[in-house]
Amino acid sequence: MADEGNIITDLDPQPAPNGADEGPAASIISQYVKDLSVENPNAPQCYNWTEAPQIDVQFNIGAQLIEGDIHEVELKIVASAKTSEGTAYAVDLSYAGLIGMRGLDESTAHAFMFAEAPRILFPFARRIIADSVRDAGFTPLMLEPIDFNGLYMQQLAAQEQQLSEGAPAGNA
């Protein structure tokens, strides 16, 4: 059936009543610092150290259901700078976002929480880390961008490999 030159089929989505959007959706509702710790345990002596520090950065992503379609995704970043003389600084940040998801299948929702949401949250967490290190009296720590989608895909592949290696070879 034609309507002013446009073809309409039974497969075309029908608009929701009163313009309501009822299709699948995912978005960041809000984001916030959940916990931040900055330590400068060897001040003021550390400002005279000449040895370049070894920087260690660890990441972890967690997600939990809050209620209904709302989840919290937490990006935890722990960064430290150490020399043979001691620890120059340590920063521990938990940066989180409330995520609203509606109408997504389980695998898509999981991918959004562990790949896309961290990608969106990371630039804000990166700035907080850089500012915290600077405010502790050091050169700002500029974390490199992270390919959260690539890491997510690697973890899925590793899990699949573990499952296939752990599966019995045949029937006994």
Can you give the CATH number for the domain in which 32 is found? Answer: 3.10.420.10
pLDDT given for residue 82 in this prediction: 97
Question: 35 lies in a domain?
Answer: yes
- The total of other beta-carbon atoms located within 10 Å of residue 158's CB is 10
**163: pLDDT strictly greater than 80:** yes
Residues 100, 69 contacting (CB under 8 angstroms): yes
**25: pLDDT strictly greater than 60:** yes
Torsion sign (Cα): 104, 27, 98, 142: positive
- The strand ranges marked E within the chain are 2-3, 6-7, 25-39, 54-67, 70-83, 86-102
Question: 9 lies in a domain?
Answer: no
Please tell me the total count of domains within the chain.
1
- The total of other beta-carbon atoms located within 10 Å of residue 73's CB is 23
Q: Which residue is listed with tokens 């700002």?
A: 140
Please give the Cα distance from 169 to 126 (Å, whole number): 46
Question: 15 lies in a domain?
Answer: no
Q: Domain range holding 27?
A: 23-160
Cα angle 125-55-114, degrees, rounded to a multiple of 5: 40
Rounded to whole angstroms, what are the CA distances from 105 to 6, 13, 38, 102, 159? 31, 19, 39, 9, 20
Question: 5 lies in a domain?
Answer: no
Question: 60 lies in a domain?
Answer: yes
* Tens digit of each residue's pLDDT (9 = 90 or more) over 83-142: 999 999 999 999 999 999 999 899 999 999 999 999 999 999 999 999 999 999 999 999
Which one-letter amino acid corresponds to residue 17?
Answer: P
Please give the Cα distance from 54 to 49 (Å, whole number): 13
The reported pTM is 0.79
* Confidence band for 12, pLDDT divided at 50, 70 and 90: very low
* Tens digit of each residue's pLDDT (9 = 90 or more) over 28-64: 999 999 999 999 999 999 999 999 999 999 999 999 9
pLDDT given for residue 109 in this prediction: 93
